[in-house]
Amino acid sequence: MSDRPNNSKRALELTGKTIGDYLILRRLGRGGMADVFLARQISLDRSVAFKVLHADLARDNNYVDRFKREARAAAALVHSNIVQIFEVGQHEDIYFIAQEYVAGRNLKQFLMRNGAVEPPLAMEILAGTAQAIQKADEFHVVHRDIKPENIMLSEKGNVKVTDFGLAQVRSDSSDQALTKVGITMGTPLYMSPEQVEGGALDVRSDIYSMGVTAYHMLSGSPPFEGDNPLAIAMQQVKNDATKLETLRPDLPKSLCDLVHRMIEKSPADRPQNAGAILADLKQINIDQDYDLSNVDFRRLKTPLPADGNSQVRKLQLAMEGKAISGPGKRVLSVIGMIGLCLAGWFGGSYLANALAPSDPLKVEQIVESPIPQQESVDKQYESAYWEIYDLEDDQEVSTKEAYWQSVINYFPIEEAGDAANKTELYHRRAKSRLGELYLQEQRFEQAEAIYQEFSNLSDIDKSFRVTGLLGLAVVENNRPADNFEGGVDEQESKIRKLLSEVEDDRGLLNPTMRKYLNQLLIQFPPYQLTR
């Protein structure tokens, strides 16, 4: 079981402390193995990202060995598209990695605020990621967790891959004990079929994850969705993604073809290395294949970087009628289109920084906006699911509640038209999640309202009905017995009646509700249900 409360307490205790050469300033986030802090390296007077192995994992020698081993492997990867590791160390019982701090935002944050991106920017990000993976492959390192959260977009316009904490060094059988520790790790939305099945991994697994990330960038959402990580993982193995050109007819066919080759189920059918992806990207002609009418040229009015060597600056010079000599003329058209998209990105960062309070460490502060509205109810549910999936257990319950409520509030059934049935389904899914949240927080009155509604549904909606019946049983079990005229006997009788209706269809319950059922069956064993 997770030790999150202790880890969270430890994170608070570390803030403001000095660990070796590092002053811990504040926590930036949390990963599967480590908390990440912004720190100041005292000797060099620079900001670093300081990763601390979770306290519960630090007590397990297997995890400590893996943490050290993979950090050393990642430290050998020196490349402009890879977040550089400066030091791997131990201070008393704290195991840490000090690495390059990238001021900016990750691709997930960018997509959440901007939705699908234009092809030139997607190609720029894909190319930077491919170069990072190509470098890792030279050292026989597989990242194993390529996803938008691990692709940083810096304020300077650089693409950097971070968090090689899941990296697996391909070696001989002596390494098997270490690799097995993390064999199920990864993120189902972007996980390759062979990783889902626990098979051997090489660079082609990272290429699959890059392809899913590219699909997400271009379509606005990952190719597969589901109610839980396992359901999504199984789709990675069995299902084919909807064709990108169907979702976005404006995309270059050559770009769509490349992405779909990257997400082929069999590794043998994908590009065999990152270099092949880079070669294919060079062959995509944006001028010929991309419909310029879809580009928002107004974004060029935002301030641009002053660096005369940057791609965006070259575009600005061209628009001002100033000459560009040499090879730049031959690639200006592609650079121009990339620049158009990057201009909006840089301009947004400029304005955000200009309007924000000054930060002595020049750390970008991203102000969270209200829950963003997606283009459809299913996308709203998907967005809520994965945002909440990444939240800490101890973060604001109101935030989680607001995400699920957004599915219902942003897409009223009465306004759904032909999509009314689909909208109603996602409303029920969101309410189901809200019910679980209310049970967890002991807000039984609100939970009861949801489960009472579910319990009245027909057999067509059997999974929601059985969830409603069980939810009511949990609520009744938490009422004081003196609320019942017949006291505890009447209370138990009502709970047993509800449980007897649930038992035959218990397979329709999700894992969270099954846990509640198992807890109740300990109090009310099956042989007593019909007593």
The secondary structure of residue 82, as a DSSP letter, is B
- Check: CB of residue 377 under 8 Å from CB of residue 411: yes
Q: Report the Cα 179 to chain-centroid distance in Å.
A: 23
Burial class from Cβ neighbours inside 10 Å (0-12, 13-18, 19+) for residue 29 reads middle
| Dihedral sign for Cα atoms in the order 225, 231, 233, 238 | negative
Q: How are beta strands 141-142 and 104-106 bridged, if at all? A: unpaired
> Counting runs of H as helices and runs of E as strands, what totals does the chain give?
22, 11
Q: How far apart are CA 254 and CA 257, in angstroms?
A: 5
* Exposure string over 449-467, b if 16+ CB within 10 A, otherwise e: ebbeebbebeeebebbbbb
- Check: CB of residue 435 under 8 Å from CB of residue 423: no
For 231, 428, 453, 507, 529, the CA distances from 517, given in Å and listed in that order, are 21, 20, 19, 11, 13
For 27, 68, 74, 365, 417, the CA distances from 49, given in Å and listed in that order, are 9, 17, 15, 15, 49
For 387, 408, 415, 436, the CA distances from 463, given in Å and listed in that order, are 25, 19, 25, 15
For residue 23, give the H/E element and its range. Answer: strand 22-30
Using the structure block, give the residue that is written with the tokens 């897409």.
411
For residue 113, give the H/E element and its range. Answer: helix 107-114
Give ∠ CA 499-500-501 in degrees, rounded to 5. 90
Q: What 3-state DSSP class applies to 179?
A: helix
Burial class from Cβ neighbours inside 10 Å (0-12, 13-18, 19+) for residue 308 reads exposed
Q: Looking at 145, 163, 206, 378, which residue is catalytic? A: 145
- 145 included as an active-site residue: yes
User: Which residues make beta-bridge pairs with 52?
Assistant: 35, 96
Give ∠ CA 270-276-279 in degrees, rounded to 5. 135
Q: Any idea which residues carry the catalytic annotation?
A: 145
